[in-house]
Structure 1
Amino acid sequence: MKSVLSTVLLALVFTASIEAGAFASSAQPDYKDNAVSGITTGEFNDKRMQIAEIQEKTRGDNGEAFEGERRIDGSMAQKVVRVATTSGIRLTSQHEAGKQQQTVQTLALSSSAGRQNEDGGACSECPEMIPIPGNKFAIGKYTVTFKEWDACVAAGSCGGYQPPDNGWGRGSRPVINVSWDDAQAYIQWISGKTGKTYRLPTKDEWEIAAQAGSTSDYYWGNDVGRNNANCDGCGSEWDNRRTAPVGSFKPNAFGIYDMMGNVWQWTDTCWQGNCAKRMFFGGSWNHRPQDMRAITRNWFDTNKRMRYLGFRLAMTLP
């Protein structure tokens, strides 16, 4: 019996080491790439701003280290944020944005880009999409679930790949253990089935959708609080144990669920121009609250599959 237990423990330690190493290997700092900073050179020239990248090393599951990037106004030491307005997204200081936050958060979304065919008819197979105010894109109300993924497999698509659920259940839980390449297979299938053109969100789109006009660390405030999300230290029943069913927590001001916590989410943005690596955001059930902030990002090779990594859809609007 002791021999069997020793073997099981050794296997668990080995698996954890591989996962930690895979995550840590992607923690490469970036100080120059405008695509990663998310702010164009022109915007900074116009406002005569300087960029200061503050490297914030934090620890996640199994000692996984990664980097958060915070953009600072050199003269006022305030966060530079994007504010969603009805006329678009503009660069502003945290102080100025704070005055607008209440107005932005009261924006009501009266329509959905999903649940309809191109001719306006009902589309029960279409994912529910949320149009983002002042922008020509919509993003998934929820991350893609196991139920949605399994429908793809049942239809003979998605390469027949059935990602493991770690024994936590499938159904309405976010699909995990899916790579960026896997996400593309699903996108091809759902686009063909519904007649709509889906894709992954870009880095900038993900940030805009996640912040939902807020200027705080989290879209509900600067304090992580309790039971606002699923992470290692969020105060939920799933913390550092397993994923939660999608929609288990309050949505952000745009009506989007689980943009922070539960599972990291792939984006379509290449890492420093290398499209064999793609960026992901949002934190997960087994990473610390600091990791959920929109300023924290990382990358993996496009074929990487992890138990804390999923995706949500986006689409371009006319």
Structure 2
Amino acid sequence: MWQKLLVVCVLALPALVLTAQAQNNTPDIKLAGVVPKNSAEQFELAFWESIKDSTHISDYEAYLKAYPKGRFAALAEARIARLRAAPGKPATQAETPAAAPPKPAPAREPAREPARPAPAREAPVATAAPVPSRPAASAGAEFKDCPNCPALIPIPAGSFTMGSNNSDPSEKPAHPVTIKAGFAIGKTEVSVQQWNACVEAGACQKVALSAGSNANAPIRDVSWDDAQQYLKWLSSTSGHTYRLPTEAEWEYAARGGTGSRYWWGEQMVTGKANCKDCGQPWSSDAPATVGSFAANGYGLHDTSGSVWEWVADCWHTSFKDAPSDGRSWEASPCTVRVIRGGSWREGAAYMVASTRFKYDASVRHSQNGFRVARNVK
């Protein structure tokens, strides 16, 4: 159910041929033709493309649950049979879940980078000195509401231009937004250690982690619904009402007081974010420890790359008629929520401050995490 993260190359090419092969002696299945944007067929193709070389049974099981009659169902079943027959097959997160969500997402370590085209907005990586951040409105000093609470940064009220007219259609139109009241947001994404404090309290589900996972790595493979459990526990523990940031609050904070393409300027430079094109430290297997890269003008780390971050809003395909006051944009029904910021597995093009995508609220994926927010008086 990779459909929120993946935008297949069919949008940029007059014709597309995708090949999926269960094993070396299995004939290729060729898919030709332009697939409509945001179509169910596109999402299925994107999902398969992102897992087709995986060595994890859970990836193919997730595909079959999402597309039981999909065009790659037979190939997925063949891969599962082959992996189960192989000696010393790798363990998967989905084989020992705490609670299976309605539509499990693929846990894709060590899957390849999702098969997505580079958006037109992508700029070449600069090798010269980093572009300095623009002056930002002053944010407050960081604070914590309890020993196990994430560190928070107070963000001042203000106005900014949300979205972009020069990138993906979902980010259009660029529009003015006024954040009328200041709020506090996590200095970093919620870490494994912070999540585990909730697990130990019996309020959150344990997340199966890869061997050698760092306690200060961002928690990931959590759904929007899982994040709500953590926020409920954190609110009761701290005495303050925690929530996810709204999409407008998230972008406002992520920009760090700038209006540029990236929070650090108009050109992509290395050493600013955790992505595959962004410089060290970087590993294809897992994101870096939270706070490993420079903070933006508001003192926030990892708003670009690291893990995709859940926000409060329901997904809308564009910003047409979006609220201008920074509130969460709801819908009924609302089963799909917004994720922001890209992940360590994406390229430089996805580090742009306006980058957004969608995911089912009940689905867990190994590239999805979150940071917290709360109101301040």
Q: Give, in angstroms, the shift of residue 255 of structure 1.
A: 0.4
Q: Give, in angstroms, the shift of residue 127 of structure 1.
A: 2.1
Q: Counterpart in 1 of 2:345?
A: 286
Deviates more, 1:208-217 or 1:181-190: 208-217
Q: Give, in angstroms, the shift of residue 264 of structure 1.
A: 0.4
C-alpha deviations, 1:93-139, integer Å up to 9, x for none?
Answer: xxxxxxxx84x42x443434x424xxxxxx32332111112242111
Matched, 1:268 2:290: no
Q: Counterpart in 1 of 2:187?
A: 141
Structure 2 CA distance for aligned equivalents of residues 66 and 300 of structure 1: 20
Q: Give, in angstroms, the shift of residue 173 of structure 1.
A: 0.3
Q: CA 1:218 to 1:11, structure 2 compared with 1: closer, same or farther past 3 Å?
A: closer
SS in 2 for 1:171: coil
Residue type of the alignment partner of 1:316: N
Structure 1 runs not aligned, ≥5 long: 1-5, 24-59, 70-100, 117-122
Q: Counterpart in 2 of 1:111?
A: 141
Higher helix share: 1
Residue type of the alignment partner of 1:127: P
Alignment of 1:33-48 (within 5 A): none
Q: Counterpart in 1 of 2:73?
A: none
Matched, 1:309 2:368: yes
Deviates more, 1:207-216 or 1:252-261: 207-216
Q: Give, in angstroms, the shift of residue 232 of structure 1.
A: 1.7
Q: Counterpart in 1 of 2:289?
A: 245
Root-mean-square deviation (Å): 3.1
C-alpha deviations, 1:3-39, integer Å up to 9, x for none?
Answer: xxx9xx975277667789999xxxxxxxxxxxxxxxx
TM-score norm. by structure 1 comes to 0.66
Q: Give, in angstroms, the shift of residue 174 of structure 1.
A: 0.2
Q: Counterpart in 1 of 2:173?
A: none
Structure 2 CA distance for aligned equivalents of residues 209 and 22 of structure 1: 37
SS in 1 for 2:314: strand
Q: Counterpart in 1 of 2:269?
A: 225
Q: Counterpart in 2 of 1:164?
A: 208
CA contact 2:148–2:197 (8 Å) conserved in 1:
no
Q: Give, in angstroms, the shift of residue 164 of structure 1.
A: 2.3
Q: Counterpart in 1 of 2:155?
A: 132
Matched, 1:214 2:258: yes
Match of 1:196 among 210, 222, 240: 240
Structure 2 CA distance for aligned equivalents of residues 242 and 221 of structure 1: 26
Identity across matched positions, percent? 36
CA contact 2:273–2:351 (8 Å) conserved in 1:
no
